Amino acid sequence: MLGNEVKVAFRFTVLTMLVLGIAYPLAVTGFGHAFLHEAAEGGLVSSKGWVVGSRLIGQNFTGNLYFHGRPSAAGNGYDGTASGPSNYAESSQALVARVDGDAAKYRAENPGASVPIDLVTASGSGLDPDISPAAARFQAARVAKARSLPVATVLGLIDRHVRGRQFGVLGEERVNVLLLNLDLDGVNR
């Protein structure tokens, strides 16, 4: 009798392993490659034959020549192996100090203008590749000045990179920072 129960348990274990360990991952991978090929391949972006990043993962751009993305709390910042938020409470003095410091830096850049919230707050993953069109436009004058370009040219680039809501209803309009900065490098040669 006990031997029969062991046989049933063994068969169930093997069946579960085949279905959930092999068939399901293959089906999901096949679906991803068939219908979401770019995302399944990591959304890699190449420039001059080199992979320079992923359109799906934010990276740290510094200096005045580039648009800056959202702050990152992932690991030591923009660490794809440590994706996640800071988990600071609203009342955390460390969070308040960081946000106030970032806001002060941006206010100095554009006196009198309201700082878009996504320039001073991290996303839940800490790796958001996009900013709002308002956040991109807020930085346009700094980038134009650093690159000796007319502000209108930089604003035109931003407008070309604005993507609408997903399926027309999900999320908000957004601008991919990596793609915008690569396009900006192409204009400024």
Strands 50-54 and 44-47: antiparallel
What CA–CA distance (Å, rounded) separates 162 from 170?
Answer: 15
What pLDDT shows up at residue 37? Answer: 75
Give pLDDT tens digits for 57-107: 888 888 889 999 988 877 777 777 777 777 777 888 888 888 888 888 888
Count the neighbouring beta carbons within 10 Å of the beta carbon of residue 181. 22
The token pair at 152 is: 């209108």
Tell me the one-letter amino acid at 184.
L
Residue 93: how many other CB atoms lie within 10 Å: 9
Going from N- to C-terminal start, the domains of the chain cover 1-41, 43-187
pTM score of the predicted model: 0.78
pLDDT at 149 over 90: yes
DSSP assignments along 132-187, one per residue: -HHHHHHHHHHHHHHHT--HHHHHHHHHHHEE--BTTTBS--EEEHHHHHHHHHHH
Q: φ and ψ at 23, to 5 degrees?
A: -65, -50
